[in-house]
Every structure is written in structure tokens, then in C-alpha cells.
Structure 1
């Protein structure tokens, strides 16, 4: 499927939402497909504010990633960058940090990387945070010197590829890696919300009680697709 192009900054990334099917509401020809962002349910009414209230907020206990986050913050500070508060709050909390892994129907798992240099533009950095069990798709937080932070996905594991490129030649790697990036969410919390809701909805639609009552946030998401296929 072709993807749109983001024109909100100096480097224009293709845009799209890489995900699996949603039963009768959204088909998928393989494990994943890239869906146009404008085909997704709008989230204006959700009230995403960085506090993850839709997941009952932070519980206060430190997560297993707290030390890693401190290292990331130091490395980013040296590059003149900062972690966005929503990303830091999510992975610093012992309960929130498990939310993506616990719902993933394609066995995606959290794997925080070191700070990675962007193959697409000088001064920008990436942090890998989630990967499919077979690395069909990997998600990264993308950070720009302007303070802009958003989520991209790629079929490339950029940490390993970066090390390989240092030995084999960087030009071809940079071109391929930059071309693989797809901008999929304007913030980390936006990504997390869609990921959690879509996986919860998939499980409900494929359960023995698939005709049962949906939770309000799942029903709102499903209603969008029901209206488009009606």
C-alpha cells in the first residue's frame, strides 16, 4: 500500500499506521499492513495529555527501565535533546511500562535501545522502544533538535545496522535506513493509545464472546470503522 508524506518539518517522512487487521472492520493481507493515517479514528475526544489517564495513570513505583532512562537522558542532553515527558513517564512506571507487551496480539515486546543517530537528518536521534517478535516492524521514538518528538516505524533494526554500516560503508546504509522510516504517530502517547486499543479490540473481536458488549473506548474505535463500511 502506498503511504502519504509528512510535510511538517525539514525531512518529509512517509506517513502511515503499521498494524494488523481489526476483524470485519479492517482487513489485512499479511501480519501487518500500512494504513493511511486519515483512515484511522480521530482521537480528539480522547484527551491525551501525557498522563495516561486512560490506563489509570502512573502507580508511582520505579520500573526496570529507570536506570536505562537515566542513561538515555544523559546521552540526549549531550546532543541538546530531551526525552518527551510522556515517553519518560510511561517507561519509568512499573505498571505502565508493561502495557504494550501485555496486549500485543503479534507478540511485540519492549526493547529500549541506546540513543541512535538519525540516518535521515543531522542532529536528530532515535530510541527504539518496541519490536515485533520476528522484527517484521520496529518502532522508534524520533527526536529533533527543534523539540519535536514523534513515533516512526521501520522494517530495519537500526542499532545493528548502524554497527554494520560502520564496517561496510555508511552511504548505502543511510539511504536505505532513511527510506525505511514511516511516521506513524505525532506523540508517544498517541501511539500507545492506538496500539493498546487496537490490540484490545482485536482480542475482543476474535474471542468466543465476540458479540458481547465492548468497553466504551473500544466501541468508539469500532464505530468509526462501522460507519465507513456501512
Structure 2
């Protein structure tokens, strides 16, 4: 489950690499609803686990026609600018067993919300596709798609779809959103692929429930991969 960290942080191209999440009980404190944790401080994941099949989740199930139609509409817009949705995201977002998983485990009532392709405000030719948002929009997660074919996951407190629509309604289409340096600082890289993002989000939110809501002895009842995840933070022997 845990292994050598892939050399992914080097590919963030100027975005700060950090994970936005809640606490993990006493093992990883959080000063508010969310905390920004440096990516290099996180438990490393085993790269071989992520094949696009989501075996760690038990698979994704058959595609849901309504979900496929929604994804096809986004894919068609991306194809017009020479980009495509990553296969792992398409499989997860369309699957009958998987497409609600992140919503169901989220401890802060995050919900899946697919946007149309949104031009990156800091990189010509790149696009964002929103796929998950916090209930109160404290943080919003996006696929970040580059013309080179590189795709990764970022988060931001900015709803870029709303920002573009608000700007166009007041100043006309084609206007920028503000200072590029400030906008770049508001976008954080957080995973080298959608599947790796989904796995870390899934395991951390499940851990939160067990560590904060269970009636004592939670670490002893954790699945092996969860205990391994916590050992990254705990003193030797503290998790078992």
C-alpha cells in the first residue's frame, strides 16, 4: 500500500504542492475545517496500485448512461482544443459503484460537481475541469490538463467557472481574472493522477470517521492499509 514516492512533485511547474484536508485524529492535527499539508509530508503511496481499474475500491462497476452522457459533453469540448479527459477519471466518474464514493466518504459534505472546460488563468492552452467541491466552497478540486498530455489534480479556493462568468457579465468576454502571480499562488498541485487523488481522499476520510467517531480502540480495528498510513505520523509502536 505504501512505498517509494514517485518523483511527481518535480512536475508541478510552479504550483505549490500541498494537500488540503482535515485532521487524522491525534496523528495529524488540523487548526480548522481544513489544513494545507506540504505534499512531501504525506505518507507515500505505492505507484503500482494505480492501474486505472480502481481494484483497491473493488472496481467501478458498469457505466451509468446519464454519467457517460455528461462526461461525453465535456470530452467533446476538450477535443475541440486538443485535450481529453484522463481515462481513470472517466472510468471512476461513470461507474455505478464509484461515481458517488467521494461524496459518500467526505467528512465535510464535499460533492461531485463536473464543470465544463475552463481555461487556465495562468497557462495558455491549459484547461481546468472541476470535479469536486466543498459544501461551503472552502476548497474546490480540478483536473488540470496541459496540451502536452500531462494531467494532474489541483485545488483552489476559487470557483473559476463562477469567476469567468462574473467577469464576462461585467466586463465582457476574454478579460482576465486578475494578477497572474496571485492566481498561480491560489492553485495548488495535490496529486499526479486522479486515481491517486481519489485513493488518498478515500482513505483519509474513512480514517477520520474511525479516529474521531469510533468509541475508543479505533487503531486496533483499522484495516492493514489504514494502519500503515497512520504509522507515517505515529511514534514507533503507537498504531500496531
Taking structure 1 as the reference length, the TM-score comes to 0.91
1:182 to 2:188 alignment: yes
Written as runs of structure 1 = structure 2, the 5 A alignment for 1:197-216 is 197-212=203-218, 213-216=221-224
Which of 149, 161, 164 in structure 2 is aligned with 1:162?
A: 164
Query: 2:54–2:195: 8 Å Cα contact kept in structure 1?
Result: yes
CA distance in 2, matches of 1:137, 1:62: 27
Query: 1:119–1:174: 8 Å Cα contact kept in structure 2?
Result: no
Q: How far off its partner does 1:229 sit?
A: 11
Written as runs of structure 1 = structure 2, the 5 A alignment for 1:126-141 is 126-141=128-143
Query: 2:164–2:177: 8 Å Cα contact kept in structure 1?
Result: no
CA distance in 2, matches of 1:21, 1:125: 31
Q: How far off its partner does 1:227 sit?
A: 4.0
Which of 71, 74, 77 in structure 1 is aligned with 2:76?
A: 74
1:141–1:180 distance in 2 versus 1, CA, 3 Å: same
CA distance in 1, matches of 2:61, 2:72: 19
Q: How far off its partner does 1:178 sit?
A: 3.2
SS at match of 2:178: helix
Q: How far off its partner does 1:50 sit?
A: 1.1
Query: 2:43–2:229: 8 Å Cα contact kept in structure 1?
Result: yes
Q: Deviations over 1:121-174 (max 9, x none)?
A: 111111000000000000000000011000000001110101122244534436
CA RMSD of aligned residues (A): 1.9
Residue in 2 that maps onto 1:94: 96
1:135–1:63 distance in 2 versus 1, CA, 3 Å: farther
Residue in 2 that maps onto 1:196: 202
Corresponding residue pairs, total = 224
CA distance in 1, matches of 2:49, 2:107: 26
Q: Which runs of 5 or more residues in structure 2 are unaligned?
A: 1-8
